[in-house]
Structure 1
């Protein structure tokens, strides 16, 4: 009797839920009252599928933090709708003829959210924090500042004098930066969050980045609410120098890793934007979404890659033949057609289409044919690798991924392919975002899900990840030949020579050593309300909401 009553109640709830979902779908574009209210209030509602571990620009390393930090901070430059650098805190700059010296002239109306002026000394302070060899934990992106003369030496304790680093405030509104080598993309790189200024009040407060009361920011918005596990809210910064061009009054972010909840919230009007890079549209709902919400669906190929990575220090993946066997034993076309269903392209290299090459697109100029999907060869390599290691049976293998319905479905499909094609049982394990990142950084895994979106439009952003000195190298890979190729490309002003170095480096990563397992090149999948304008989705899939507005 109790079971029957429960089933009846569940049936009633499903009926009510279906009716509500139908109502939400019918008004997905927003009715006239909804449009008028949104235009009046200018409050944007989005979702983050994971809670950012930190809002400290020196410590951040994930797309969730990236999106929110872009709302709260501004660097020397920012990127426009064409991903080109335009004035930010710096209103203009001079570049020496040899490309080594940059002199940034800061605008005098740039202020922190508390009213203090943003000065060149704030940039020096922030960059020194990133490079400080005693920072705990070590900032993962410290190597991004190695383009600056003396930065690497200071970070590696070869010198203890920060005055030897090529960054100095010649006065409150002039920042002089001297590079080690000419770097054509350095200007764009200064828009990245690791290069953001930080208010000097954080100096003696290690918990400043977790408390809205101590988050003094210089961008279009300031953090006003952070309720762990529930909501993050930023409010228009009245002291931002370009305040007149910021139309939104507030951006509210829910925190849910459920794609189904996100889509339902979008349909019902609770969200104005849903999908990548910070949310998710359920893969099994894509056929319905394409049909019912086609005018609100944005499908855009982007320069980002979805891959699995091997911990090359952990058994059994310290053996290259075993890594190659696992890589070759997948059907990528089956994954993108039957699992993700968002028009992604199978990946057989690491650098995605859309990244600049010598004259055009790197991927067009250099095909990604570093391996093939060959089940028979995969079985052979697995047996050879096991014999080399003295295995009669393969040690237990676990694949970890961060909590997400999409990641889970891909992981289960991949594990099933490994079972069918290699006869190997692989356990899958989902982990909360912060735990997942910590386990990857500490090499506490065997295989892990990963994705990479470029920090700037040059192949270097895909290769300096895996040098032995990179703070983002969480696979345990150390290779002198690889380091030398990346170092040569960093030092060279010959673009043809740089691209040749990149091809050799990619071949070493993907073909020779197979430390990465590419799966597909991303497509940005997003739903955007028709009355929401000004959302910028760049070449990498990054989304900038700062100039968005409702009409």
Structure 2
């Protein structure tokens, strides 16, 4: 199963408020610098490798893509315009002229072809969409698709589609991603591993030099320490505050809090291949045992929304609730029907430092009420991801996001046998026939019916348990302008931010 099944499409305007009260202990950075709190370090600066939040956030500063998203709609970035054929299988992209990489080389259509083809080699699910990518001239790229693909623009806007300098990558190999060379608004200045990632504005950026000259990602893993650094003026911007931290900034007139609906959904992934969770009745028992209202209140201070499915508000989604209701007695019935009836059942919930253990503690208590002992193991997000990949878990707690607003593409990416990436998921092709039919269907209504029928079938197995759709938020020093809340929680590009 893909990591990014938990999501909610943004559907309302952002709410911004400045909160009055507490004084600041220190001074803010000068108008030429923005200090951003990040919770982990980068691993490298390769669009094809995104192991950490800092990887993704760094990529959005260094590289550009053909398009990006504003309010759920694709807008020009490197491509200043485009058009599609009548059958929606061929797209023509016209590049912004006079765009240069940070080493001074001109960006051309050949670089775009190289970058997309490279990404297709890295990702089978991406490759399945593209029949061919061709440079028609220096500034024109033709993309032919294998099928109608409503999510083509979100694919082109994803972190992995950052456009690389072909000659620079071929000359430098892996070193090209330690000393990256993109066309983005910021270029890497210095990387102090474990401490700070420093950027400076690219003088010849095609969209005009960024108003803020220096951008620093300061790595602080402890949320309390991070919040203190914001309050005393050491840092200027922090994202994805927990409910408890969110409450702490209330009363500080020097800080502004901004919220908006998010694509991020907290949920559980259960191992269907190994351990006690390979038993479907055990999975269903766990699903019925969890009080998601309590998860929202305790884990998110009631700021979220109880989830109704893995793919809410998606194209081709009918809005039905496909989840199991909280019903401890029904949970006990499922346990009695499992192969572990009458046995002591112990499971481990693996969470990461990024997500915390408050929600796992609620689940731990819920499971105890039906006779399941749950241990909680917290680790760094890289280790959690590795265990997920290798199937070394029973239950994973995570709160990821999804940028593909198309249910058919998300189902295909997560469940088609050739795309399955985790040893914990089904790879026997049980859904391939239905997915082939979905991807071949061009009628919107029929496609919706097929998608929702398959989603209902999958959700009935309790291979994952959606919990709460989170509200996105940021907090920053009052006076910072042109801010926004990214619905994915990490796709921030700071090129338009400025100080009053």
TM range (shorter): 0.7 to 0.9
Structure 1 or 2: more strand by fraction: 2
What do the CA deviations read for 1:344-392 (whole angstroms, capped 9, x no partner)? 011231123xx3445xxx4xx422243111101111212321348xx73
> C-alpha displacement at 1:526, in angstroms?
1.9
- Alpha carbons of structure 1 residues 338 and 188: separation in structure 2 relative to 1, 3 Å: closer
Aligned counterparts of 1:453 and 1:258: Cα–Cα separation in 2:
22
CA contact (8 A) 1:323 1:514 kept: yes
What do the CA deviations read for 1:271-310 (whole angstroms, capped 9, x no partner)? 222222xxx34x4344443455697222322232111111
SS at match of 1:371: coil
The structure, 1 or 2, with the larger RCO (C-alpha pairs under 8 Å, 6+ apart) is: 2
| 1:252 and 2:216 aligned | yes
CA contact (8 A) 1:535 1:544 kept: no
Runs of 5+ in structure 1 lacking a partner? 1-23, 133-138, 150-165
SS at match of 1:537: coil
Aligned residue number for residue 316 of structure 1:
276
What TM-score does the superposition give when structure 1 sets the normalisation length? 0.80
Aligned residue number for residue 143 of structure 1:
125
Aligned counterparts of 2:211 and 2:281: Cα–Cα separation in 1:
55
What TM-score does the superposition give when structure 2 sets the normalisation length? 0.88
Aligned counterparts of 1:474 and 1:274: Cα–Cα separation in 2:
35
CA contact (8 A) 2:284 2:334 kept: yes
CA contact (8 A) 1:168 1:177 kept: yes
Aligned counterparts of 2:254 and 2:296: Cα–Cα separation in 1:
19
- Which residue of 363, 375, 381 maps to 2:334? 381
Aligned residue number for residue 194 of structure 2:
229
| 1:181 and 2:147 aligned | yes
- Which residue of 433, 447, 451 maps to 2:381? 433
Aligned counterparts of 2:75 and 2:295: Cα–Cα separation in 1:
39
> C-alpha displacement at 1:321, in angstroms?
0.8
- Which residue of 284, 288, 291 maps to 1:328? 288
Aligned counterparts of 2:486 and 2:239: Cα–Cα separation in 1:
15
SS at match of 1:412: helix
> C-alpha displacement at 1:422, in angstroms?
2.0
> C-alpha displacement at 1:270, in angstroms?
1.8
SS at match of 1:325: helix
Aligned counterparts of 1:210 and 1:402: Cα–Cα separation in 2:
26
Kindly tell me the number of residue pairs found equivalent between the two proteins.
478
Aligned residue number for residue 298 of structure 1:
258
Aligned residue number for residue 15 of structure 2:
none
- Alpha carbons of structure 1 residues 371 and 294: separation in structure 2 relative to 1, 3 Å: farther
- 1:142-541 equivalent positions in 2, closer than 5 A: 142-149=124-131, 166-200=132-166, 201-203=168-170, 205=172, 207-208=174-175, 211=178, 214-244=179-209, 246-276=210-240, 280-281=241-242, 283-290=243-250, 292=252, 296-341=256-301, 343-352=303-312, 355-357=313-315, 362=317, 365-387=318-340, 392-394=343-345, 396-404=346-354, 406-419=355-368, 421-460=369-408, 462-463=410-411, 464-470=413-419, 472-473=421-422, 475-478=424-427, 480-511=429-460, 513-541=461-489
SS at match of 2:357: helix
> C-alpha displacement at 1:142, in angstroms?
3.7
- Alpha carbons of structure 1 residues 299 and 106: separation in structure 2 relative to 1, 3 Å: closer
- Alpha carbons of structure 1 residues 503 and 384: separation in structure 2 relative to 1, 3 Å: same
CA contact (8 A) 1:27 1:267 kept: yes
Aligned counterparts of 1:50 and 1:124: Cα–Cα separation in 2:
32
Aligned counterparts of 1:490 and 1:64: Cα–Cα separation in 2:
34
SS at match of 2:378: strand
What do the CA deviations read for 1:85-131 (whole angstroms, capped 9, x no partner)? 22222222232111111122223311110011112222222223223
What do the CA deviations read for 1:395-416 (whole angstroms, capped 9, x no partner)? x422111113x52222222222
Aligned residue number for residue 8 of structure 2:
none
- Which residue of 38, 50, 59 maps to 1:48? 38
Runs of 5+ in structure 2 lacking a partner? 1-20
Structure 1 or 2: more helix by fraction: 1
CA contact (8 A) 1:306 1:522 kept: yes
